[in-house]
Amino acid sequence: MTGPNPQLDAQGNLKHFLTIDGLDRALLTEILDRSEGFLGVAQQAVKKVPLCRGKIVANLFFENSTRTRTTFELAAKRLSADVLNLNISTSATAKGETLLDTLRNLEAMHVDMFVVRHADSGAAHFIASHAAPHVSVINAGDGRHSHPTQGMLDMFTIRRHKGGFDGLTVAIVGDVLHSRVARSQILALNTLGVREVRVIAPRTLVPTRAEEALGVRVFHDLREGVRDADVIILLRLQRERMDGGFLPSEHEYFYLFGLTEKRLRGAKPDAIVMHPGPINRGVEMDSQVADGARSVILEQVSNGLAVRMAVMSMCIGTQNLGAGPSGQPLPEATTQDTPHV
C-alpha cells in the first residue's frame, strides 16, 4: 500500500480490518496478544464482557457462510454488542436498492460496525470507503482477495502451539489460486517472520509467479513439500470458484495431494495440521489425519471467537475501556461499571 493506510485512524489505531497487507508486525502481534485475553471468556459463568455494550454490529453476508457468520455473531454478543443479521436474499438489495442505499439506511439506524462477506474482491474496501466516519468495517471474506480474521486466527493457533514464529517452516497445501484464506495466511506468516512459507499444489492451482508475488517457495510434490515442516495447513478445493478444468478429478487430487498419516510422517514429529474448514474428507485429507492427535482444526474454531472479539473491540474503538494494563479484558465482575462507548 502507498500513502496512509486506510485501515488505521489518525492515531495509528485499527479502524477497519480489511486485509493483512500493509499492517506491521507490531499490530499483528497486538491482535494476537489481545486475543489471549479473550480466551478465558468462554470459561466464565457469564460468557460476556461489556466492552461493546451499546454498540450495534450488522452482519452483511452477501455470500453464504454459516460458520463465519455464526462466529462473528457470537463474538459480538460476547462483547455485549447488539447484532443485526441482514438476510441479503430477502433484503431491499434483492429488490433493486443499491448497496450504498442499504448502507445509508443502516447508518440511519446508528449501526457502528459492518461485518462484510462478498463474492467480489474489494467489496469490503468499497464499503469502508463510503461508510460514515463513525462506522468500522471488518472484511469477513471478499472474492479471492482476503479473509484477514481467518488468517489471524490461524496465526493465533500456530503461536499457541509453537510459542512464536521465528524459525518455523509452514506448508500450505491445496487450492492457493482461488483461496483468499491462503493470501491472508501468507501475508501474516511473512510479516510475523517465519523462516519459510511453502505452497504445495498442482500447477493449475498455483498463481502465476507465486514465488515472487507472494514470497513463498512452490512445490508440486506433497512428500517433498511437507518434509520437516512445523505446520501443515490444508486448503479446501473451491469448486464454486473454478470455471475450467483445473483438476481431472477429486480422486486423483487426493491420490497426489491428499494428506494421509503416511505422508504426514515426513513432517517434524511435533508438526500440527490445520484446515480453515469446511473439510472435504477423502479429498484434502483422510479422516485419520483430520481426527488425529496432530490435528488442531477444532481449536481453530474456538480460537476464532477470541480473535474476532479482539479485532472487533479494537476496531470499534473500545480497546482502552475495561482493560488491564496489557490490554487484556478484565473479568466481568470488575468491569460492570464500564461506561457505554
| Percent of all residues in the chain with a pLDDT value above 90, rounded to a whole number | 71
320 exposed, middle or buried (CB, 10 Å; 0-12, 13-18, 19+)? exposed
Alpha helices in 79-209 (DSSP H): 99-108, 123-130, 148-162, 180-192
Instruction: Flag whether pLDDT at 329 surpasses 60.
Output: no
Is there a contact between 256 and 222 (Cβ–Cβ < 8 Å)?
A: yes
Spatial separation of the C-alpha atoms in residues 226 and 129, rounded to whole Å: 41
Q: How confident is the model at residue 65 (pLDDT cuts 50, 70, 90)?
A: confident
The three-class DSSP label of residue 328 is coil
d(CA 132, CA 58): 14
Distance CA 270, CA 99 (A): 48
Rounded Cα gap, residues 14 and 315, in angstroms: 5
Tell the CATH topology of 148-297: Rossmann fold (3.40.50)
Residue 44 confidence class, pLDDT cut points 50, 70, 90: confident
Percentages (nearest 5) of helix, strand, coil residues in the chain: 40, 15, 45
If one compares 203 and 99, the residue with the highest pLDDT of the two is: 203
Q: For residue range 116-128, what is the model confidence (pLDDT) as tens digits?
A: 999 889 999 999 9
The single-letter DSSP state of residue 11 is T
User: Is 147 part of any known ligand binding site?
Assistant: yes
239 annotated ligand-binding residue: no
The pLDDT tens digits for 230-244 are: 999 999 986 544 444
Q: Fill in the amino acid letter for 116.
A: V
List, in sequence order, every residue forming a beta bridge with 172; answer none if it has no partner.
199, 233
150 in a labelled binding site: yes
Choose the most confident range, by mean pLDDT, from 39-48, 92-101, 268-277.
Answer: 268-277
Q: Report CA-CA distances (Å) from 341 to 72, 234, 258, 305, 328.
A: 20, 40, 48, 21, 17
Total Cβ atoms within 10 A of residue 241: 15
Contact between 156 and 299 under an 8 Å Cβ cutoff? The reply is no
Residue, of 332 and 259, whose pLDDT is higher: 259
DSSP-based three-state secondary structure for 33: helix
pLDDT band per the 50, 70, 90 thresholds, residue 86: confident
Label residue 89 by pLDDT band (50, 70, 90).
low
DSSP state of 181: H
Phi/psi of residue 318, each to 5°? -115, 20
- Inter-residue contact 306 to 156 (CB < 8 Å): yes
Alpha-carbon distance of 84 to 57, in angstroms, equals 6
Cell output for 191:
510479516
For the chain, give every domain's residue range.
25-146+301-327, 148-297
- Return the pLDDT at 250: 84
Range from 90-99, 149-158, 236-245, 330-339 that averages highest in pLDDT: 149-158
Domains 25-146+301-327 and 148-297 agree in fold: yes
> What is the rounded average pLDDT for all residues in the chain?
87
> Is residue 328 pLDDT above 60, yes or no?
no
- Does 159 carry a binding-site annotation? no
Topology of the domain covering 25-146+301-327: Rossmann fold (3.40.50)
Q: Annotated binding residue at 236?
A: yes
Write the DSSP symbol of residue 141.
Answer: E
* pLDDT confidence of residue 246: 59
Quote the pLDDT of residue 144.
87
Mean pLDDT of 157-185: 96
Please indicate if the annotation marks 67 as binding a ligand: yes
pLDDT exceeds 70 at position 308: yes
Those residues with Cβ within 8 angstroms of residue 19's Cβ, 6 or more apart along the chain or in another chain: 7, 125, 139, 145, 146, 148, 184, 187
Backbone φ and ψ of 253, nearest 5°: -60, -45
Q: Is 336 annotated as a binding residue?
A: no
C-alpha to C-alpha distance for 310 and 304, rounded to whole angstroms: 10
pLDDT of residue 46: 84
pLDDT mean over 62-88: 90
Check the annotation: does 180 bind a ligand.
Answer: yes
| CB of 157 closer than 8 Å to CB of 296 | yes
Q: Among 44-48, 191-195, 327-331, where is mean pLDDT lowest?
A: 327-331
pLDDT band at 275; cut points 50, 70, 90: very high
- Give the whole-number percent of the chain exceeding pLDDT 70: 85
pLDDT of residue 239: 56
